Structure 1
Amino acid sequence: MAATAGLALRQLWAAGPVAVPGVFNPLTARLAERVGFRAVYMSGGALSAGNGVPDIGLLGVTEFVQAAQLTAQATTLPLLCDADTGFGETLNVERTVRLFEAAGVAGVHLEDQVMPKRCGHLAGKSLVDADVMAAKVRAAVAARRDASFVVMARTDARGVTGFDDAVRRAKQYLAAGADAIFPEALETAEEFARFAAEVKAPLLANMTEFGKSPNLSVAELGAMGYAMVLFPLTAFRVAMKAAEEALKELHAAGHQRDLLPRMQTRAELYDVLDYPGYEARDRGYLRG
């Protein structure tokens, strides 16, 4: 997978637009593949929240890469991963890219925030100098062993220094070798269209909920020129709301009987996991 995942993602965006859902564990990645998605994403925000901490750079590269490896192993789909700010400076970025690539993912995106970073749709962010970020991009490109491994540059400039600086930074990151650009927290449909008109590269649009960006459709963004449309926390938010409601009902009723129609059954879970396939292989090995 490591040698082909990046190429698979590139082929998808070339034929785009491709919808990329966030998957918050390996089982969710399998579900996404089952329902027909063609690529998946590991969000640093979801990973952090799932570990009970906010998305402010508290988890390290080891935790990110371990989660990425388990997810990549659970699906045949190319996996794009959030790599925050690269977990340090240029030499740290080298190591980060090599670890993610060895984990079997299709690529990573790096952002131009100052550590400790903040959620891209919150106020109070700070940016590194564009030259510093460009150096990180060069380090990431130099570090990859497979030329198809995707190095995507995310700029958070729109919410800090403005739209024009986001465009300027995107062009500088492309000149440094970035394969694709992720403009974070654009605020209107017109801004999405204008960014695509000014930055000629494979672009990713982030359709996170409850943030600064309008929730546009894959078709709308594809018509503007976006190659990838990201839904980083949609499944996570729905799952967490469902879990909260189920726990409240269980606590109030003292039983789970009324929740049964809303559950994935044991048989459905085993089907997603291919439980029968594991058993069949086990029996085959024992028979020799």
Structure 2
Amino acid sequence: MKSGAAKLRQLMTSDIPPVVPLVLDPISAKLAEASGFQALYLGGGALGYLKTVTEANLTVTEMAQAALDIRAACPLPLILDGACGWGEPMHMHRTIAMAEAAGFAAIEIEDQIFPKRVHHHIGIEHVVPIELATQKIEQAVAARKDEDFIIIARTNACITDDLDEALRRAEAYKRAGADMLIVIPTNPEQYRAIGERIDGPLVYMTLEGLESIGMPLTDVGSLGYKLVIDATTPFYARQKVLRLCYEAMAKGLPDPTLGRGYKEELSHVFDAINIQRLIDVEKNTVEK
């Protein structure tokens, strides 16, 4: 049986990069799986919002626990938003050990300062020196036990400096052993320039959903992007639905999304969690 990491590497061989959506819990993973997605992304930014503390306050153990819950319900390869790796070069050894033990297929490590700052969420970045970031990638590579486990190096230097500096950093991280690269642009148009100027494999991380890409996935693939990650849309959609639900309830109004379709949605929940398998167990044991 192939590991999640091996499955993810196989997905990356396609000329058309697979879309990898954000998931935050087991049921969202099951819904994504049922919709046909082949890999998933556990995002720190969205999970930080969910916990109302921001990504800067999350720990590696929290992310590992979330992965255990998701992986127990869904077999799809899961990518970890590893933020800054939770430390310096030495700390990468525990971070990678935890990520592999939790069943992640890949980890994304970025070159921001650690501890992270909330200012990251309003577009103010603080990148570490390239030498330190390179050492962290080197140690992450050295720490992995599964050779298929994917190390993704990310730079936000387009925001702090310019595209040239971001590409210089990405090339250094690749030489350090990173399997894939994420270069976060300042606008979607820069993604084409990034693909044309640096060898991949690359990860395309959408800025405002899939519609912001502005070109077919075949073109994205031809530029060297092997994965397309949407780390925000499912969270914002969930947030909006809940916000509108509570606002309607407070006014004594029916939910604007659900309406009166309680039984219909419950059937979708039953399908998502495959409740029939549990009922069958009871029928054959305690309810026999």
TM-score by length of 2: 0.90
Q: Which structure 2 residues correspond to residues 83-232 of structure 1 after superposition, within 5 A?
A: 83-118=82-117, 122-189=122-189, 191-209=190-208, 214-216=212-214, 219=217, 220-232=219-231
Contact 1:120–1:156 at 8 Å: present in 2 too? no
2:61 counterpart of 1:62:
yes
Shift of 1:223: 3.8
Distance 1:181 1:11 in 2: 17
Cα distance in 1 for partners of 2:276, 2:147 equals 38
Deviation at 1:18, TM superposition (A): 1.0
Q: Which amino acid aligns with 1:245?
A: L
Q: Tell me how far apart the structure 1 counterparts of residues 51 and 287 of structure 2 sit (CA, whole Å).
A: 42
- How far is 1:215 from its partner? 3.9
2:75 is matched with which residue?
76
- Mapped partners of 1:121, 1:12: distance in 2: 31
Corresponding residue of 1:53: 53
The DSSP-based 3-state class of the residue aligned with 1:28 is: helix
How far is the alpha carbon of 1:32 from its aligned partner?
0.5
How many angstroms apart in 2 are the aligned matches of 1:121 and 1:214? Answer: 19
Q: CA deviation at 1:257?
A: 9.6
Indicate the SS of the match to 2:114. coil
CA deviation profile, 1:49-82 (whole Å, cap 9, x unmatched) = 1101123x11111111111221122212111110
Contact 2:4 2:78 in 1 (8 A): yes
Partner residue, 1:36: 36
Amino-acid identity (%): 31
Q: Which deviates more from structure 2 when the two are superposed, residues 6-15 or residues 113-122?
A: 113-122
C-alpha displacement at 1:92, in angstroms? Answer: 1.2
Distance of 1:241 and 1:262 partners within structure 2: 18
1:19-34 equivalences in 2 (<5 Å): 19-34=19-34
Do the aligned residues in 1 keep the contact of 2:86 with 2:115 (CA within 8 Å)? no
Q: Which amino acid aligns with 1:34?
A: A
The question of whether the paired residues in 2 share the 8 Å contact of 1:9 and 1:39 is answered with yes
Q: Which is worse superposed, 264-273 or 156-165?
A: 264-273
What is the distance in 1 between the residues matched to 2:70 and 2:216?
24
The alignment yields a C-alpha RMSD, in angstroms, of 2.4
Asked whether the equivalents of residues 5 and 106 of structure 2 are also in contact (C-alpha less than 8 Å), the reply is: yes
- Equivalent position SS for 2:270: helix
Consecutive unaligned residues of structure 2, counting only runs of 5 or more, are none
The 8 Å contact of residues 18 and 229 in structure 1, kept in 2 or not, is answered as yes
Q: 1:61, 1:19 → 2: CA distance?
A: 25
Taking the aligned partners of 1:258 and 1:163, their CA distance within structure 2 comes to 42
Give a deviation string over 1:106-135, Cα, whole Å, max 9, x none: 011000001232576633211111111111
Give the stretch that moved more between structures: 200-209 or 152-161.
200-209
Unaligned runs of 5+ in 1: none
TM-score by length of 1: 0.90
Partner letter of residue 226 of structure 2?
A
Distance (whole Å) between structure 2 residues aligned to residue 111 and residue 218 of structure 1: 27
1:121/1:228 CA distance change after superposition, 3 Å: farther
How far did 1:152 drift? 0.5
Equivalence for 1:17:
17
Aligned residues: 283
**TM-superposed deviation, 1:209:** 2.0
Q: 1:126 to 1:258 in 2, by over 3 A?
A: closer
Residues 94/76 of structure 1: CA separation in 2 closer, same or farther (3 Å cut)? same
- Are residues 25 and 95 of structure 1, via their aligned partners in 2, closer, same or farther at CA, if it must alter by over 3 Å? same
Compute the displacement of 1:287 (Å): 8.9
Deviation at 1:274, TM superposition (A): 0.7
